[in-house]
Amino acid sequence: MALDSKIPKGPLKDKWTDYKNHINLVNPANKRNIDIIVVGTGLAGGSASATLAELGYNVKAFAYQDSPRRAHSIAAQGGINAAKNYQGDGDSNYRLFYDTVKGGDYRSREANVYRLAEVSGNIIDQCVAQGVPFARDYGGLLDNRSFGGVLVSRTFYAKGQTGQQLLLGAYSAMNRQIARGKIEMFNRHEMLDVVKIDGKARGIIARNLITGEIERHSAHAVVIATGGYGNVYFLSTNAMGSNATAAWKIHKKGAYFANPCYTQIHPTCIPRSGDYQSKLTLMSESLRNDGRIWVPAKLEDAKAIQQGKLKPTEIAEADRDYYLERRYPAFGNLVPRDVASRAAKERCDAGYGVNATGEAVYLDFASAIERYGKEQAKIHNIANPSAEKIYELGQAIVEAKYGNLFQMYEKIVDQNPYKTPMMIYPATHYTMGGVWVDYNLMTTVEGLYCIGEANFSDHGANRLGASALMQGLADGYFVLPYTIGDYLSHDIRTGKIPTDTPEFDAVEKEVKDRIDFFINNKGTKSVDYFHKKLGKVMWDKVGMSRNAQGLTEAMAEIKAIREEFWKEVKVPGNANELNPELEKAGRVADFLELGELFAKDALNRAESCGGHFREESVELDGEQEGEAKRDDVNYAYVAAWEYKGEPADAVLHKEELEFKDIELKQRSYK
């Protein structure tokens, strides 16, 4: 099947307006007869559920947690972008669009990104109206800060808990619709497959996680909003339950999976401390507004630090290498995430890492504390303040901005980051790849939509900070509610979709057979054993830097792990009860297939772009020497994979990316 992105004709800035003016609408009386299933209730699914219900559709929302408020969107810290230009520093829709396309290394779809920038301002208005307590200045107006990859302050924030507040805002909008009976909420339910009738998505099979009951749910359209697949690495910043099952199952039922190899490696995570570790914790990128990143300039100092013989505070200013400021003077510590991550790895690989494993760099707030302290002393008219006083005043400012992050760091690492620099290292964070969707956010299966992190469209090969929340809410509040109406306008005479059909029978049987297999398999190894094994191959060979040989090996190794999994996996307990091991088994089975497609996609893409650093593709000379080298002649396309059984047999479809409003050129942050 050929890919049709359905991008509207006309000038970029008019596309979305024209589109909205010409689509079909559903009359309010008919909306009452139409059911929509939304799977996942984080920022994207939650905002979509609330808005679709508000419009009058009957929404059935599914979450694996006990409440939508637990979705992992809640963990996003730094902020949400919007081109409001409240700061008057030159921001505009075009500039937000431009920064996002450039930040994504020119691998996203222009029309989608422009629409995202266009609705960004609305998101802030909407959230404020819902009571989201964004940070304010003393005049009572909204405050902004800056993030990596941009030169303006367009990031709105609520302390270091922006994701939490936006999610609670979306959940409050859901609460209103739950109270009205327009959203039927299925908590502690997991979607295990999609049901198609006459080629259209018409329902799902879900498991009640408390009773184990397998349920059939029908609808006129199905929306997948289940987030990313970063847990394919086992260790990531994702929540433990974040999984790829819904996205993978729809892939197996005909939805193409796009750019699986685009994973963001976030530069500021707390380093791993041992093999028992269950997950990684992110430190917000906003810290790079004030924190300076460095490693020792001398190798012997680095060695002494690794052995615990020297403290960071004992290293003189002249003996520190602020490598981001050195290499990228224009953006400094605020280069995009992929650039910062690669630079950290480069220094650590060269032996300059600052913890026992040699996999950490410093994020230092000493100069920010001093700078703020001096400013505060002036504001408060303190003449000749002592160093201690300056420190005290400065610390208070840093605490007001990032207090909860510092506390979180101290609890995990057991060091006070006000006194000694934080240690950070890159880790898997957000996935830019995902289910392929057209401009309407519809997958290659009719009536099946995919929004938020679970789709691929807006971030290209690298996501800039504070843009995930923006995309989730844009899709859910403002884009999908229009596009899905156009589709559903053809369904007003369909009537209720029955669930006692051969199609539901068949998919339910597939789901039950798989569960029965797990419960009855007499294996010897736990699910986590396989997940960790997969994660190691992914990180070593399909991680921050990759080469053809490693990727070929990874594909074979993942296949072997998968074969062993199906022979040796052991799942205790029963199917008809709350059984977390059974839940994990199904999810890891899907990761074991997705991981191989991920490696295959990475092997196919013989260029460096975004966080995907291909060792064979490096700038050899000139101003950008040593930087990642993109190949626009051969790879300016979206790789959309069609399922054909084994992941290795997946068929590649290319959506050529057209850049009409932005010149395709080499990225430079120098």
Residue 397 binds to other proteins (criterion: CB under 8 A):
no
Contact 519, 511 (CB under 8 A): no
Residue 66 binds to other proteins (criterion: CB under 8 A):
yes
> Restricting to residues 106-135, which ones interact with other proteins according to CB under 8 A?
119, 122-131, 133-135
Q: Identify the active-site residue in 337, 342, 347, 463.
A: 337
What is the rounded distance in angstroms from the CA atom of residue 637 to the CA atom of residue 308?
48
* Minimum gap (Å) between residue 62 Cβ and other proteins: 15
Binding residue for other proteins, selected from 17, 24, 27, 277, defined by CB under 8 A: 277
Q: Which range binds other proteins by CB under 8 A, 2-10, 72-80, 94-102, 366-374?
A: 72-80
Annotation marks residue 207 as catalytic: no
Residue 484 binds to other proteins (criterion: CB under 8 A):
no
Binding residue for other proteins, selected from 18, 137, 314, 505, defined by CB under 8 A: 137
> Restricting to residues 493-512, which ones interact with other proteins according to CB under 8 A?
none
If 0-12 CB within 10 Å is exposed, 13-18 middle and 19+ buried, where does residue 28 land? exposed
Residues whose CB falls within 8 Å of the CB of residue 523, separated by 6 or more in sequence, listed in order = 567, 568, 569, 570, 571
* Minimum gap (Å) between residue 438 Cβ and other proteins: 22
Q: Which range binds other proteins by CB under 8 A, 138-146, 439-447, 488-496, 658-666?
A: 138-146
> Restricting to residues 195-224, which ones interact with other proteins according to CB under 8 A?
210
* Minimum gap (Å) between residue 199 Cβ and other proteins: 31
In the complex with other proteins, the residue whose CB is nearer, 176 or 252, is 176
Residue 179 binds to other proteins (criterion: CB under 8 A):
yes
What is the rounded distance in angstroms from the CA atom of residue 311 to the CA atom of residue 416?
13
Write phi, then psi, for 464 (nearest 5 degrees). -70, 155
> Which one-letter DSSP state was computed for residue 253?
T
In the complex with other proteins, the residue whose CB is nearer, 29 or 179, is 179
Copy the structure tokens of residue 576: 């008809």
Residue 50 binds to other proteins (criterion: CB under 8 A):
yes
Residue 279 binds to other proteins (criterion: CB under 8 A):
yes
Binding residue for other proteins, selected from 35, 54, 285, 601, defined by CB under 8 A: 54
Query: What mask, x for binding other proteins by CB under 8 A, covers residues 222 to 251?
Result: -----------------xxx----------
Residue 357 binds to other proteins (criterion: CB under 8 A):
no
Residues whose CB falls within 8 Å of the CB of residue 348, separated by 6 or more in sequence, listed in order = 295, 358, 359, 360, 361, 425
What is the rounded distance in angstroms from the CA atom of residue 28 to the CA atom of residue 5?
29
Residues whose CB falls within 8 Å of the CB of residue 509, separated by 6 or more in sequence, listed in order = none
Residues whose CB falls within 8 Å of the CB of residue 271, separated by 6 or more in sequence, listed in order = 355, 357, 359, 360, 423, 424, 425
The residue type of 620 is: L
> Restricting to residues 606-645, which ones interact with other proteins according to CB under 8 A?
none
Nearest to 51 by CA among 470, 475, 488: 475
Binding residue for other proteins, selected from 257, 478, 591, 613, defined by CB under 8 A: 478
Contact 626, 608 (CB under 8 A): no
What is the rounded distance in angstroms from the CA atom of residue 654 to the CA atom of residue 255?
14
Number of residues interacting with other proteins: please give it, by CB under 8 A. 78
What is the rounded distance in angstroms from the CA atom of residue 14 to the CA atom of residue 173?
30
* Minimum gap (Å) between residue 1 Cβ and other proteins: 34
